[in-house]
Amino acid sequence: MIIDFHVHCFPDKLAPRAVSQLAATAGIPPRVDGTISGLKESMKRAGVAKSVVLSIATKVTQTENINNWSAEIQDEEIIAFGSIHPEYENWKTELFRIKDMGIKGIKFHPDYQNFFVDDKKMFPIYETAFELGLIVVFHAGVDIGLPAPYHATPERLEKIVRTFPGCKVVAAHMGGFSFWDDVERFLVGTDIYLDTSYSLDFMDGEQAKRIFKNHDVSKILFATDSPWMDQEEAILKLKNLNLDKETENAILGLNAKALLGL
Per-residue pLDDT reduced to its tens digit, 93-135: 999 999 999 999 999 999 999 999 999 999 999 999 999 999 9
**pLDDT tens column, 198-207:** 999 999 999 9
Quote the number of domains for the chain.
1
Picking from 39, 101, 108, the residue whose alpha carbon sits closest to that of residue 68 is 101
**pLDDT tens column, 137-162:** 999 999 998 999 999 999 999 999 99
The CATH number assigned to the domain holding 223 equals 3.20.20.140
Q: In which domain, by residue range, is 29 found?
A: 3-260
User: Alpha-carbon distance 38 to 45, whole Å?
Assistant: 11
User: What is the predicted pLDDT for the residue at 84?
Assistant: 98
Confidence of residue 181 (pLDDT cuts 50, 70, 90): very high
pTM tops 0.75: yes
- pLDDT above 90 (res 10): yes
**pLDDT tens column, 18-67:** 999 999 999 999 999 999 999 999 999 999 999 999 999 999 999 999 99
**pLDDT tens column, 203-240:** 999 999 999 999 999 999 999 999 999 999 999 999 99
User: What is the predicted pLDDT for the residue at 15?
Assistant: 95
User: Environment class of residue 218 by beta-carbon count within 10 Å: exposed (0-12), middle (13-18) or buried (19+)?
Assistant: middle
User: What is the predicted pLDDT for the residue at 145?
Assistant: 84
The sheet with strand 193-195 has its strands ordered as 3-7, 50-54, 78-83, 105-108, 135-138, 169-171, 193-195, 220-221
